[in-house]
Amino acid sequence: MLFLFLSVLLSVVLLLNFRLFPKYDVNTFQAIVFNYPICFLTGYLLLPAGQSFTIDFPQTWTWLALGLGVGFILTFMLSGASTQRMGITVTSLANNLSLVIPVCFSLFVFQVGGKVFDALNYLGLVLALVAVGLSTYKKESNELSVETPVLEGQPIPSPITPRRLGANVLLPVAVFLFYGATNTMINYMNIRYISSADKTIVVMLTMVLGAVVAGLVMLIVRVMQGKEVIQGRNLIGAVTLGVPNFLSFYTLLLALSQFGGNGAFVYPLYNIGVILIAALMAAVFFREQLSIANKIGLALAVLAISLISWQELAELSK
């Protein structure tokens, strides 16, 4: 259980980073771009003895992995923006409830072997979608906000108009969809192309490399347009983001190996853990206020994930 616990904590650390960046005037965009070279270095240092990293361009999975890397950086930027605009709790809910998407694809599209879903499992899928809607609900407000604009470095007060609020609400929805899409593609790659577990870090490094290239291209374009000025504190932010970013995924994979690859058992515990600890951290350290609808959404999220995997949780209690 140690690796699973570490993965949960490291995932929450990612959200805490995003929440703290505006306080220390760290440019979120630059921190995300530079976090991926840090991820790559971290993963390279963790390569098993005797194993080297090479890019096998003739392989289809290589190009899929590079494409996934581009999806990762876009998803990470959405997650950062959502955390700063909508809060840690809402973003962690959208992130973790996205498991509904790969689960549905596994059941109805890929039709891979595994457990047979019963009525409680399907009820959990429906409740998960309801939980996303309730957790992202925000009342309109005319109060001034001093939040940092999305992916910008300079905080400016601005009224929260209904139109702006509506756009902000779309951020966690986008996080839900993008995380679900990338996780679905990872599942597809595992089913279709990745034949052995010893390729895990190599595949991860290939994905990260795609994110590195995409991020640097975007950064160079923005620098040439005069929209970005690289500063040292953004590089420090990249380190505090990149190391837990890679390690959270790596420890999750170690947890899967520890439990015999039983993702139906590990992922629900991981998701519930992240949701609850993120909500606790947000309430204690950032005084995030949740409406009654948000709290209901939080409770439904835990219930939904529990229903989706009630068989595995029942086995745990024996």
Q: Is the pLDDT of residue 143 over 60?
A: no
Name the pLDDT band for 210 (thresholds 50, 70, 90). Answer: very high
Is pLDDT larger for residue 262 or for residue 98?
98
Place of tokens 């309430």: 283
Residue 86: the pLDDT is: 86
Region for residue 255 given its phi and psi (left: phi exceeds 0; alpha: psi -120 to 50; beta: otherwise): alpha
- Determine the distance from the C-alpha atom of residue 107 to the mean position of all C-alpha atoms in its chain, rounded to a whole number: 22
Q: Is the pLDDT of residue 99 over 90?
A: no
Residue 221: the pLDDT is: 93
Residue 186: the pLDDT is: 77
The arithmetic mean of pLDDT across residues 130-152, rounded, is 54
Residue 100: the pLDDT is: 80
**Tens digits of per-residue pLDDT, 222-239?**
999 998 899 999 999 999
Look at residues 73, 288, 298, 75 and name the one whose alpha carbon lies nearest to residue 171: 75
The arithmetic mean of pLDDT across residues 286-295, rounded, is 83
How far is 93 from 229, CA to CA, in rounded Å? 33
Number of H helices and E strands in the chain, helices first, is 12, 2
Q: Is the pLDDT of residue 144 over 70?
A: no
Name residue 24's beta-bridge partners. none
**Enclosing H/E stretch for 159:** strand 158-159
Q: 91: Cβ–Cβ under 8 A, 6 or more apart, which residues?
A: 15, 18, 79, 82, 83, 171, 172, 175, 278
For CA atoms 77, 82, 83, 89, give the dihedral sign.
negative
Q: Is the pLDDT of residue 161 over 60?
A: no
Residue 250: the pLDDT is: 83
**Tens digits of per-residue pLDDT, 106-122?**
777 776 555 677 888 88
Name the average pLDDT for the chain: 81
| C-alpha dist (Å) from residue 263 to 3, 251, 252, 267 | 14, 13, 10, 6
pTM above 0.85, yes or no: no
Residue 209: the pLDDT is: 93
- 8 A C-beta contact, residue 247 and residue 46: no
Which tokens in the block code for residue 79? 């997650």
| Whole-number percent of the chain with pLDDT over 70 | 83
Q: 107: Cβ–Cβ under 8 A, 6 or more apart, which residues?
A: 117
Q: CA dihedral in degrees (43, 47, 51, 55; nearest 10)?
A: -10
| Most confident stretch, 71-75, 191-195, 273-277, 296-300 | 71-75
| Most confident stretch, 44-58, 77-91, 101-115 | 77-91
Instruction: Among 70-84, 149-163, 271-285, name the one with the lowest average pLDDT.
Output: 149-163
Instruction: Among 196-200, 246-250, 285-289, name the one with the lowest average pLDDT.
Output: 196-200
Residue 112: the pLDDT is: 59
Burial per residue of 206-218, b for 16 or more beta-carbon CB atoms within 10 angstroms, e otherwise: bbbbbbbebbeeb
Region for residue 151 given its phi and psi (left: phi exceeds 0; alpha: psi -120 to 50; beta: otherwise): left
Look at residues 2, 63, 21 and name the one whose alpha carbon lies nearest to residue 189: 63
Name residue 192's beta-bridge partners. none
Name the pLDDT band for 252 (thresholds 50, 70, 90). Answer: confident
Residue 268: the pLDDT is: 73
| C-alpha dist (Å) from residue 43 to 25, 201, 289, 290 | 28, 7, 37, 37
* Contacts by 259-263, CB closer than 8 A, 24 or more apart: 262/312
| Most confident stretch, 200-209, 253-262, 265-274 | 200-209
User: Could you write out the three-class secondary structure of 103-150?
Assistant: HHHHHHHHCCCCCCCCHHHHHHHHHHHHHHHHHCCCCCCCCEECCCCC
Phi, psi of 57 (to 5 degrees): -60, -35
Q: Is the pLDDT of residue 6 over 90?
A: yes
